Amino acid sequence: MEHKVINLNLRIWRQKNAQDKGQFENYSAENISTEMSFLEMFDVLNERLINEGKDPIAFDHDCREGICGMCSMHINGRAHGPWDGTTTCQLHMRAFNDGETITVEPWRAKAFPVLKDLTVDRSAFDRIQQAGGYVSVNTGNAVDGNSLPIDKANADASFDAAMCIGCGACVAACKNSSAMLFTSAKVSQYALLPQGQPERLTRVMNMVAQMDKEGFGACTNTGACEAECPKEISISNIARLNREYLNAQFSL
C-alpha cells in the first residue's frame, strides 16, 4: 500500500469543564501519515500544542486495540468515524483525503455529561451493570468445561452479546440517546446461559430501572445503534430484553 502524507483541517470541540459552554476551535494537522491511526494523529497535534504552551485536547483512550471502548469520538457526524465495525483507535488516516476538514466532538447525551473537550462521563453504564450484571457462582474448585452442556446457538448468541465493549456509540448514534442496545447486550449474555438463571428475573428489572434512572431516552427501533456499533451488536438483543422484562413483570 502506498504511504502518503496529508494535511488536514480539524474542527474540534473544546470545553474546559462540565460547567463551561464549550465551542468548536480550528486546528491544522500537517504532514500526517495515512498509516497513522486517528488517535496517533491526535497525539501529534497534542505534542505540538504542548510545545506551543497550549492546553492539549483531552480525549479518552486506553488499549488502542478496539477492546476497551474508551475512544469515544463523534467524527464527521458518525460515532467512531466513517468505517463500519471500527472503533476510533482502529480508524486510520487513509480514510480521509488531503485538505479535508474533519469535525470532532464528544458523545452528546444527557446521561454522558462532558467532563473536558472530548471526554465524557460514562459511569452511567457502570451503574447499569452494577444493578444486575453479575451471576451467582460456586467459588469452589473449577469444574470441567464440558460438565454443563449448553446449546451452541445460545452459546454463540451469548458470546456475540458479550462482545459489547460499552463504548457508548449506540447512545451517541440514537436520536433519543437510548441505552437499550448496551443494556440488552448485558442482559442477553447472561440470560442465554445456565449460569445466569438465578438472577434472571431481578437482573432485567434492576438494570432497566437503573437505565431509566440515569436519564437515557426510549428506544424507537430506528436501528442507528446497530449500524454504528463497532462490534456490530444486533438489535435482536433489544427484542430479547423486552421479552425478559415482560416475563419478569408477570413472574415476580
pLDDT for residue 191 is more than 70: yes
**How many Cβ atoms from other residues are within 10 Å of residue 100's Cβ?**
13
Residues in the chain: 252
Across the chain, what does the average pLDDT equal?
94
| DSSP assignment string, 15-33 | -SSTTS--EEEEEEEEEEE
> φ and ψ at 14, to 5 degrees?
-120, 130
Residue 1: what pLDDT? Answer: 52
- CATH 3.90.1200.10 at 122-137+147-251, yes or no: no
Q: Where are the domains of the chain?
A: 5-115, 122-137+147-251
pLDDT at 2: 61
Cβ count near 15 (within 10 Å): 19
Quick check: 9 pLDDT over 90? yes
The pLDDT-based confidence of 25 (bands split at 50, 70, 90) is very high
Tracing cell 467459588 back to the chain, one arrives at 139
Mean pLDDT in residue range 14-23: 96
User: Which option is the CATH number for 5-115: 2.30.30.240, 3.60.20.10, 3.10.20.30, 3.40.50.2300?
Assistant: 3.10.20.30
The DSSP H or E segment spanning 182 is helix 180-191
Sequence-separated (6 or more) residues with CB below 8 Å from residue 235: 181, 221, 223, 225, 226
pLDDT at position 85 over 60? yes
* 95-107: pLDDT as tens digits: 999 999 999 999 9
Q: In what order do the strands lie in the sheet with 101-105?
A: 23-33, 5-14, 101-105, 74-75, 78-79
Task: Provide the 3-class DSSP secondary structure of residue 169.
Answer: helix
**Cβ pair 178, 221 in contact under 8 A:** no
Rounded-to-integer distance, Cα 65 and Cα 47, Å: 22
Q: First-to-last CA distance in the chain? A: 59
| 189 confidence band (pLDDT: 50, 70, 90) | very high
pLDDT digits (tens, 9 = 90+) for 113-171: 999 999 999 999 999 999 998 888 776 777 776 777 889 999 999 999 999 999 999 99
Count CA within 13 A, CB hemisphere, residue 129. 13
pLDDT at 228: 97
Long-range contacts of 54-61 (CB under 8 A, 24+ apart): 57/12, 57/14, 57/117, 57/118, 58/115, 58/116, 58/117, 58/118, 58/119, 59/117, 59/118, 59/119, 60/118, 60/119, 60/120, 61/89
CA–CA gap between residue 9 and residue 28 (Å, rounded): 5
pLDDT in tens, 226-247: 999 999 999 999 999 999 999 9
Residue 21: how many other CB atoms lie within 10 Å? 6
Is pTM beyond 0.85? Reply is: yes
Coil, helix or strand at residue 94: helix
